[in-house]
């Protein structure tokens, strides 16, 4: 019998923008979802620092606590993220997204977090604006809308 304590789940470490930035991003996400469909539930704006990790909830929490306690102050801290590009991809979770600049500071934070889990960062950081299965033409239209209307 599997209990909540032994159930394996998927966990990740996210960077979450400040409230004012999140509010602006949510408006863009809502506008895209209204026009193009996609995931119906509201998704909190974020980008992954460490991608999907399969383990128990308790193991994930323990690793996070250990991470916070074991690294020097400032290793894992607030940072400024810059958007490099708006991209449209044929992947459900990255249908339309913002490619985040992989700055030295972000690399260090990613390294600190990934090391604790024995992982490498899975690639260029991104913040998804729309989850869904769109045609290539729809993805390009949505990407262009973000560039033009929302001026991101």
> Domain-by-domain residue ranges, the chain?
8-148
Task: Kindly state the DSSP code that residue 72 receives in the 8-state scheme.
Answer: P
Regions of the chain where pLDDT drops below 50: 1
CA-based nearest residue to 128, from 117, 115, 141, 143: 143
| Model pLDDT, residue 26 | 92
- Residues forming beta bridges with residue 10, ordered by sequence position: 54
| Model pLDDT, residue 90 | 94
The span from the CA of 76 to the CA of 52, in Å, is 19
| Model pLDDT, residue 97 | 94
| Model pLDDT, residue 1 | 46
| Model pLDDT, residue 3 | 62
| Model pLDDT, residue 87 | 94
The span from the CA of 112 to the CA of 116, in Å, is 7
| Model pLDDT, residue 38 | 80
| Model pLDDT, residue 152 | 59
Using an 8 Å Cβ cutoff, are 134 and 89 in contact?
Answer: no
Crossing angle of the two packed helices 57-70 and 104-117, in degrees rounded to 10:
130
Domain 8-148, what architecture? Alpha-Beta Complex (3.90)
Percent share of the chain, pLDDT over 90:
43
Given its phi and psi angles, is residue 126 left (phi above 0), alpha (psi -120 to 50 degrees) or beta?
Answer: beta
């Amino acid at each position: 019998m599997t209990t909540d304590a032994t159930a394996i789940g998927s966990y990740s470490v996210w960077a979450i923008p400040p409230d004012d930035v999140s509010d602006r991003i949510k408006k863009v996400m809502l506008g895209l979802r209204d026009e193009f469909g996609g995931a119906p539930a509201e998704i909190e704006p974020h980008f992954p620092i460490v991608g999907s990790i399969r383990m128990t909830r308790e193991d994930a929490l323990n690793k996070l606590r250990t991470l916070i306690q074991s690294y020097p102050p400032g290793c894992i801290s607030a940072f400024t993220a810059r958007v490099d590009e708006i991209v449209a991809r044929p992947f459900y979770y990255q249908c339309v997204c913002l490619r985040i600049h992989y700055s030295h500071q972000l690399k260090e934070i990613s390294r600190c977090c990934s090391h604790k889990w024995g992982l490498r960062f899975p690639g260029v950081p991104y913040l998804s604006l729309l989850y869904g299965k769109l045609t290539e033409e729809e993805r390009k239209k949505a990407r262009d809308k973000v560039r033009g209307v929302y001026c991101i």
